[in-house]
Amino acid sequence: MKSLELIIVQFNEVERLIAIGRVPQLRLAYILLDSAVELIMHRMAKSELDGERYPFAQLENLRRIETGSDRVFRAERQRLGADWLRAEIEKLEATVVSKRRRSKIDREFAEKIDFLIGRGRLPNDLGPVLKKLHEYRNETYHRDHHRIEVIRPAVLVYVDAACTVLENYEPDTLISGDFDKPLGPELALLHEDLPTPRDLFQLPHLAAKQLREAVQLDLNAVRSALGEHLLARLADLQDNIAYVEENLTGRDVIPGDAILAMQIQDGDAEAIFDPEVMRSRNYPLTMNDLRSWVERATALESMSDKHALFTEFAAIEDCFEKVEQVARKAVWDIDEQANWR
């Protein structure tokens, strides 16, 4: 029961922090949610991989026999025959997760998601949502980058995603041992809310249900916040590109040159000094892309599926974040040069 208690205490704290609603508390709630999701997925993946422990151990033993230089291995290799060994190894390799992938699943958040979706343990549409939410967590936890404008909707989306992960938990991966010990206060309260006869294996589902009810994902508010955030950033990007274009040197500047100029590769002197060469280059982005992003951001308002909504929000954001940073730097460089005149 201790493993379940860890999750329930984190969820309770998340609920308390969201109720306060200030950015520092929302940041902590976000980090706790991400930690809980990763812990749950770790246990789910471990349960899946434990189911392969016997064929995996057999595979490792056969590999040692095939390659071992010890006298015992050589004798066993001769007894079994090289062809039989190779055939058995290849047969087992097709049925178990490789050692390399096991290591990646153990270390990497995204790899856990892909593995569990592949095994049917998590819904497919949850994958892009969890991966993007985890990226935000890494920014706020490791790099002191806090997306203040969207932290509340992001937290609410993460609560819903975390509850989905918990609902997809196989109870035996979460509840184990300590059945004869008294429940901690958080689990005891949850246990009292179970319908009789009380089934301890329903505790994770009840915990997810109660957190959802307490926090309540307001899809309309989240949708509006995400859409308005993207449109505001895209408007700023458009203004910055226009500002850069106004400050491009040369008499033959035409609309759309600025976004091309910001994509010139270092050392491409021809494109730097000859606008026609620059325009002939096959750069990934044009002003048509910016218009497309605005259209897609506006279309968020009509989306009713929460996972599809956040996935599309993340996809649009990924499209323009790099050029957004380049444009901001270009504007800063222009202003710096102007200040030195």
61, part of any domain: no
Peptide bond into 185 cis (omega under 30): no
As a whole number, the mean pLDDT across the chain is 89
Q: How far is CA 311 from the centre of its chain?
A: 10
CA nearest neighbour of 189 among 35, 15, 39, 20: 15
pLDDT reported for residue 177: 53
Residue 59 burial (CB < 10 Å; 0-12/13-18/19+)?
Answer: buried
Position 33 scores a pLDDT of: 96
Total count of residues recorded for the chain: 341
Position 85 in a domain? no
In a domain, 224, yes or no: yes
For residues 305 and 280, membership in a common domain is answered with yes
| DSSP code at position 247 | T
| Residue where one domain finishes, among candidates 182, 215, 248 | 215
In a domain, 190, yes or no: yes
**Per-residue buried b or exposed e for 254-290, using 16+ beta carbons within 10 Å of the residue's own CB:** eeebbbbbbbbeeeeeebeeebeebeeeebebebeeb
Split at pLDDT 50, 70, 90, the class of 178 is low
pLDDT of res. 199? 74
* 236 vs 328: CA distance, rounded Å: 9
- Give the CA count within 13 Å in the CB-facing half-sphere of 222: 24
Domain identity same for 101 and 23: yes
Do 237 and 197 lie in a common domain? Answer: no
Residue 309 half-sphere exposure, CB side, CA atoms within 13 Å? 24
The per-residue pLDDT for range 49-70, each reduced to its tens digit, is 999 999 999 999 898 898 888 8
As given in the structure block, the two tokens for residue 251 are: 């008499």
**Domain boundaries, position 30:** 2-52+97-215
Domain boundary among 192, 215, 238: 215
Mean of the pLDDT values across residues 123-143?
A: 90
The better pLDDT of the pair 115, 82 is held by 115
The verdict on residue 252 lying in a domain is yes
Number of domains in the chain: 2
* Predicted pLDDT of residue 341: 57
- Helices 53-67 & 82-93 angle (0-180, nearest 10): 150
Residues 158 and 10 in one domain: yes
Enter the pTM of the model. 0.83
Name the strand (E) or helix (H) holding 190.
Answer: helix 185-192
266 and 317 share one domain: yes
Q: Which of 195, 215, 235 is the last residue of a domain?
A: 215
Mean pLDDT of 267-293: 93
Q: Which long-range contacts (CB under 8 A, 24 or more apart) does 82-91 make?
A: 88/62, 89/59, 89/62, 89/63
Q: Does 196 score more than 80 pLDDT?
A: no
Least confident range of 122-126, 203-207, 296-300? 203-207
What's the whole-number mean pLDDT along residues 169-175? 63
**pLDDT at residue number 1:** 63
Task: Tell whether 300 and 201 lie within a shared domain.
Answer: no
Q: Tell me: do 240 and 186 sit in the same domain.
A: no
Q: Which runs of consecutive H residues, i.e. helices, occur in 216-305?
A: 219-246, 257-261, 269-273, 275-280, 287-299
Quick check: helix, strand or coil at residue 145?
coil
The verdict on 180 and 117 lying in the same domain is yes
